[in-house]
């Protein structure tokens, strides 16, 4: 599992959002988390806080560093008052958790990479920014490992550091030839790794550099206890003075059962991703939103039928590190572990499910029964779901080809017109397909 090795030392300005709502006793001080929560993202440009009700669209991604797209209504001409909207202006984003004390708020800074103003409509894009992050550097690091390199870079830029390792043995001479940190790390990760290990990296939404051994993560099957997350027990996104969101701890289980409509972990849509090499194994995909089903193929990167498995990592270690062999073997490994890559859409952010984590998913072939009610209230919090569920006069079987435990490869948050949407990219290797609830385990495999 990925753990925090040290926290970041950044100091961003707090976005204090003025609350002006037509409620009785509106002068009462309310906690921001209880008033706005994840209902609206909060933004600040330099020293100007944007009214939360002016935000019409936001998209937040991370590949491998956070990027943001923002559209808002500038009724007061705040942006026009800036001398030159562009790279010299800093955009701050804050997303508050729905309740206190369970998760840290997302607090990021971006430089404005593009700005388009049309009347009072402003469209901005922002690239991740911390001081000196885009400065090119010429620096020798000596004979060090990937783990030591990423830990050093995190300290150099006051970022946190997360990993599922305590060190690595891929020592080699490392030199930055005049690249920015993001380009340098993206280039160096290609040559990192060792026997039965391959690494990836990203900066998460809490300003931590993550260095992760994908081999360990993809071959791990977490138990129910290791998959516990906090979600909101109140499914209504209300904003009233007496509104209180209570946290509830539950196993991270995504499901498309109609009984879960309105639940934070309800899947409203699912679709597959593709890769270059394929097998002839078909499975059906169903969209809850469009009420359509179609077939696709499970992707298997092992084009040589496991012939190369025993020497999938061919690089030498300390002293004679084989850069080219390691890079080629890393590519083969990524194709192999990404055999089945899917995307699922949820109706709101779930801060307990982030890039680099694990999640269970049950998909029932409900088809046209998607809107039919059922008496399955206990299913929400019970991981031992049945192999089929009866809705009306029909029985919908669980799709064992799709269901199982996945590694979270990427996360995207979208806020559009007051409504949230969250897209999770999930992946797992071919050997985990159709291995559901084995007799000796309750967890998915």
Euclidean distance between the first and the last CA atom of the chain, given in angstroms as a whole number: 16
CB-based burial of residue 384 (10 Å sphere; 0-12 exposed, 13-18 middle, 19+ buried)? exposed
Is CATH 2.40.30.150 correct for 231-301+338-432? yes
CA 66 – CA 68 distance, rounded (Å): 7
CATH number of 31-128: 2.40.10
Residue 312 has which token pair?
């999938």
Q: What is the pLDDT of residue 436?
A: 41
Domain ranges for the chain: 31-128, 231-301+338-432
Instruction: For residue 182, give the 3-state DSSP assignment.
Output: helix
- In this prediction, residue 262 carries a pLDDT of 81
Looking at residue 158, its pLDDT comes to 96
pLDDT at 377: 36
Rg (CA), the chain: 23
From the first residue on, what is the mean pLDDT of each consecutive set of 10 residues in the chain (445 residues)?
A: 93 71 43 54 87 91 95 84 66 83 87 88 93 91 95 97 93 92 93 81 96 86 89 56 68 86 87 50 36 37 38 37 66 73 89 92 66 35 46 61 89 91 88 50 34
**How high is the pLDDT of residue 187?**
92
Q: What's the pLDDT score for residue 76?
A: 79
Give the model's pLDDT for residue 306: 39
């Amino acid at each position: 599992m990925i753990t925090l090795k040290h926290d970041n030392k950044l100091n961003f300005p707090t976005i204090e959002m003025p609350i002006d709502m037509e409620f009785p006793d509106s002068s009462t001080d309310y906690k921001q988390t209880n008033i706005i929560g994840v209902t609206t993202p909060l933004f600040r440009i330099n020293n100007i806080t944007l009214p939360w009700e002016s935000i019409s669209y936001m998209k937040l991604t991370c590949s491998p560093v956070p990027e943001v797209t923002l559209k808002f209504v500038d009724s007061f001409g705040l942006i026009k008052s800036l001398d030159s909207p562009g790279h010299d202006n800093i955009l701050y984003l804050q997303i508050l958790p729905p309740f206190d004390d369970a998760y840290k708020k997302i607090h990021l800074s971006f430089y404005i990479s593009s700005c388009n103003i049309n009347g009072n409509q402003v469209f901005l894009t922002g690239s991740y920014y911390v001081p000196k992050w885009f400065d090119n550097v010429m620096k020798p690091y000596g004979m060090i490992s990937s783990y030591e390199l990423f830990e050093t870079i995190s300290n150099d830029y006051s970022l946190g550091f997360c990993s599922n390792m305590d060190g690595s043995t891929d020592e080699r001479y490392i030199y930055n030839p005049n690249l920015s940190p993001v380009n340098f790390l993206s280039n160096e990760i290609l040559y990192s790794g060792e026997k039965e290990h391959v690494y990836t990296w990203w900066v998460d939404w809490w300003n931590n550099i993550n260095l992760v051994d994908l081999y360990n993560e993809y071959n791990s099957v977490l138990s129910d206890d290791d998959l516990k997350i906090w979600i909101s027990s109140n499914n209504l996104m209300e904003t009233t003075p007496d509104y209180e969101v209570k946290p509830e701890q539950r196993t991270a289980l995504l499901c498309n059962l109609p009984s879960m409509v309105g639940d934070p972990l309800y899947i409203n849509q699912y679709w597959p991703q593709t890769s270059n090499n394929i097998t002839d194994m078909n499975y059906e995909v169903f969209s809850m939103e469009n009420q359509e089903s179609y077939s696709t193929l499970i992707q298997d990167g092992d084009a040589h039928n496991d012939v190369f498995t025993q020497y999938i990592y061919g690089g030498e270690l300390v002293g004679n590190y084989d850069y080219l062999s390691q890079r080629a073997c890393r590519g083969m490994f990524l194709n192999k572990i990404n055999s089945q890559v899917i995307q699922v859409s949820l109706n709101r952010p779930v801060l307990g499910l982030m890039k680099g984590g694990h999640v269970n998913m049950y998909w029932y072939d409900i088809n046209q029964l998607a809107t039919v009610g059922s008496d399955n209230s206990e299913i929400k919090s019970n991981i031992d779901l049945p192999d089929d569920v009866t809705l009306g006069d029909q029985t919908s079987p669980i799709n064992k080809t799709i269901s199982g435990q996945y590694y979270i490869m990427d996360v995207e948050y979208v806020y559009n017109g007051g409504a949230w949407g969250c897209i999770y990219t999930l992946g797992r290797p071919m050997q985990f397909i159709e291995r559901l609830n084995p007799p000796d385990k309750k967890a998915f495999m």
